[in-house]
Structure 1
Amino acid sequence: MPSQNNTVAATKTSFRILEELKRADGAGVTDVASELGIAKSTVHNHLQTLSEEEYIICEDGTYRVGLRFLELGEYTRNRMDIYEKARPEVNALAEETGEMVNAAVEEHGEGVYITRAEGGQAVSVDTYAGKRVKLHCTALGKTILAQLPESRVDEIIAIHGLPERTENTITDPAELKTELDEVRERGYAYDREERLPGLRCVAAPVVADDGNLVAALSVSGPTTRIKGDLFHEEIPELLRSSANVIEINMAYS
């Protein structure tokens, strides 16, 4: 994200440190300082402040992100109308398909999972509520991008790029835009092992009365099961039906 002239350097340093603690799944002062190229004394002061404010915890010299962030995240999510309206449909769709079902929104040019549910035969993948993913390599993300103005798509590409996640990831802007045209035409998007090898996904948009995108809804599963008519016809139809229910509930309840 482009830097603004009125940003506060110390605050940005605190967040860089928090992101490093998350990435490393916990770290000491020396490790954080070395990884970020920041003086140990500076890192120590930031960690002490974050600990006193109860945003991180320290266990035997290892600092970790604390549960105070869960409180903030739950507060934010529970204020979102789409979360309350989508959650029952996500659960029902997971039960019906037996697979992993997710709902996501766009924030700062990335996809953010707001709720998920696992069906009886769902495979375990690296998604969880609050996880952020690049938009170009997921069905959810391509569904979101297809609903945005081209100028906004160009802006997101400029900021986040099109990093390759697997050999199937679309990394060329022109190819991605062609794919987005197809998504708009058929009304749903595919992820053909573009973020994780062996995983396919289908996603459909949830659109408000004013025509603006609210969220994207997806079903994902292993390539050994998500194939043929299930991949190309049955799951897309289930997704569009569930998205329509959410849209109606948002408009009239």
Structure 2
Amino acid sequence: MSTDETTLAPVPATPRTGGVQSLERAFAILETMADAGGVISLSQLANDADLPLPTIHRLVRTLVDLGYVRQEASRQYSLGPRLIRLGETTSRMLGRWARPHMERLAHELGESVNLAMLDGDQIVYVGQVMASRNSMRMFTEVGRRVLPHSTGVGKAIMADLDPADVRALLARTGMPARTEHTLTTPEDFLAELERTRQRGYALDEGEQEVGVRCVAVAVPDAPQLLALSVSGPVTRVTDEFVARATGPLHRAATAISGEMRGPRG
């Protein structure tokens, strides 16, 4: 690492070696590329990452050589294929990181707790903890994929999306009725998302499975679109239960977000 490289940015309160600074900058480049949709020009990358162009070029070339970035025919740069394995492994780890918080929530509320993420146009369940105190418990297989429009977790996630993006997703997936209660038009669904935003949580009123009610909240500030839910029979998940569950749900979702983001230096 040259002396010029280590003097490109102000010296931080805690001195960093050139190698650590380069590592920080490399990850900043990857995150900037992800924020841009995965494909970006070198000049735009330098502007968005707020780094000198020669520094960007040197670090991007290293990332290309390692397979974490690739150069397109257009001479733009995109996230590379070696990141896929890292992302897939990390996705499988979500349930493990979240489990202690989910276990506390299941113990406090006495119902099954689920963690789900938006993967493409589908919701995939990445974690579950079942409460032990009830003989009748809700079971959702980890890895199960469903369409977002008929689930509480899907509503919680999509309430934070641009309505145009929601309409585009619904146009791609369709809105098949899982039960007689499933919302099957974009207008009804968007109206429900507005209600979700106003009250701060989403509800599945037997829309995925008859007799099952679910309350869900988005995991805030997470690097992936995630939601946490509590579900059970409608006889137990009453309006009183929902009112009691929303506070603990939000606290657990915030704690899971902190686990994912890690310590801030």
TM bin (shorter chain): 0.5 to 0.7
The CA distance in 2 between the partners of 1:118 and 1:124, in whole Å, is: 7
Deviation at 1:182, TM superposition (A): 1.2
The CA distance in 2 between the partners of 1:220 and 1:129, in whole Å, is: 15
SS at match of 1:104: strand
CA contact (8 A) 1:96 1:119 kept: no
Q: Which of these residues, 91, 101, 121, is aligned with residue 89 of structure 1?
A: 101
Q: Which of these residues, 126, 149, 153, is aligned with residue 136 of structure 1?
A: 149
Once the two structures are overlaid, the 10-residue window that deviates more, 84-93 or 217-226, is 84-93
Computed over aligned residues only, the root mean square deviation of the Cα atoms, in angstroms, reads 2.5
User: Which residue number in structure 2 is paired with residue 244 of structure 1?
Assistant: 254
User: Which residue number in structure 2 is paired with residue 221 of structure 1?
Assistant: 232
User: Which residue number in structure 1 is paired with residue 117 of structure 2?
Assistant: 105
| Distance 1:159-1:235 versus aligned 2 partners, 3 A rule | same
CA contact (8 A) 1:207 1:213 kept: no
The CA distance in 2 between the partners of 1:78 and 1:252, in whole Å, is: 13
Q: Percent identity?
A: 35
Paired amino acid for 2:227: A
The CA distance in 2 between the partners of 1:215 and 1:122, in whole Å, is: 28
The unaligned stretches of length 5 or more in structure 2 are 1-84
The CA distance in 2 between the partners of 1:80 and 1:191, in whole Å, is: 25
The CA distance in 2 between the partners of 1:122 and 1:134, in whole Å, is: 28
- TM-score, normalised relative to structure 2: 0.62
CA contact (8 A) 1:205 1:213 kept: no
The CA distance in 2 between the partners of 1:79 and 1:217, in whole Å, is: 15
The unaligned stretches of length 5 or more in structure 1 are 1-72
Question: If you compute each CA radius of gyration, which structure gives the higher value, 1 or 2?
Answer: 2
Deviation at 1:124, TM superposition (A): 4.5
Deviation at 1:130, TM superposition (A): 0.5
User: Which residue number in structure 2 is paired with residue 115 of structure 1?
Assistant: 127
Q: Which of these residues, 165, 170, 184, is aligned with residue 152 of structure 1?
A: 165
Q: Kindly tell me the number of residue pairs found equivalent between the two proteins.
A: 179
